[in-house]
Amino acid sequence: MCDYDNAIFRLATETEPEDYTGEDGLLYCGNCRQPKEAYFAEGKTLFGRDRYPKECDFQRKQREEREAADREQKHREELERLKRKGFTDPAMREWTFGNDNGKCPQMHKAYAYVECWEEMKATNTGYLLWGMVGTGKSYFAGCIANALMEKEVSVCMTNFAAILNDLAASFKDRNEYIARLCSFPLLVLDDFGMERGTEYGLEQVYNVVDSRYRSGKPLIVTTNLTLEELQNPEDTAHARIYDRITEMCTPVRITGENFRKATAQEKMEQLKTLLNRKESL
Ligand SMILES: [Zn+2]
């Protein structure tokens, strides 16, 4: 909307005590010394007025600041909503690029995934994050989830222990529950392969994975299983699940430093220092 259109809605110019009238008879801003009104073209008038209000630099700057603050506030609220909806464990909120200790050599692939999200989405490409326990696979996936949420992409990060729990609790609404999991543009299934065992469990896992596959939306899986185990399933029940996953997810071997071990090591060091200090007293 241009200033001229604005005039129809806003006939009065907002004045401040420091404003003054310029030589041309228009009101000037005492802050930025720009006119806060303008004459209608060719001496025309509207509702008996020869001039209309005009935004000066100072007013524009104030308006832009106000709008930016509003946008930021809306973004924070949306982010909070996405995190509350998408994370099954509040600890996942902290698994961010910003909190990363830099010890995972594959982390650039997490950045790349976020960077190329539109392409990943369009081509239905996910990651199969495998490697030893405690190498930071969940953290890696959490970084992607958090960074996409920052972009206001809706992500669900959960694990099969939670899914099987929910499915057992909601006997009636199973399809609805699985449909909800498939509604997220990105689904992250943490700790896949821990639910091995019961026929019922495997059936549900297959239902979730197959539904996700048919939804045409990407899936990221973290697992302690080796790629070899995934490529050589023990029976057909496992085979059909693994086949789906390996078709949808590009394998990435995570070789990050064992976070839990590092923490244990640090605790040991602290204890040693403490004991040494005691001895020297
Ligand atoms: Zn001004």
The pLDDT tens digits of the residues spanning 22-48 come to 999 999 999 999 999 999 999 899 888
- DSSP, collapsed to helix, strand or coil, labels residue 153 as coil
Contact yes or no for 178/156 (Cβ under 8 A): no
> How far is ligand 1, taken at its centre, from the CA of residue 38, in Å?
14
- CA dist 162 and 120 (Å) reads 26
- Both tokens assigned to 106: 């594959």
> How far is ligand 1, taken at its centre, from the CA of residue 41, in Å?
22
pLDDT reported for residue 277: 66
> How far is ligand 1, taken at its centre, from the CA of residue 25, in Å?
16
Fold exhibited by the domain 87-261: Rossmann fold (3.40.50)
- Both tokens assigned to 128: 């199969």
- 193: phi > 0 → left, psi -120 to 50 → alpha, else beta; which? left
Residue 113, pLDDT > 90, answer: yes
> How far is ligand 1, taken at its centre, from the CA of residue 44, in Å?
25
DSSP H helical ranges for the chain:
3-9, 57-86, 107-115, 117-122, 137-150, 160-169, 174-183, 199-215, 227-231, 236-248, 259-280
Per the DSSP assignment, residues forming a β-bridge with 129 are 222, 252
Give ranges for CATH 3.40.50.300 in the chain.
87-261
The alpha-carbon radius of gyration of the chain (Å, integer) is 29
- Over the stretch 122-149, which tens digit does the pLDDT of each residue have? 999 999 999 988 889 999 999 999 999 9
pTM of the model: 0.80
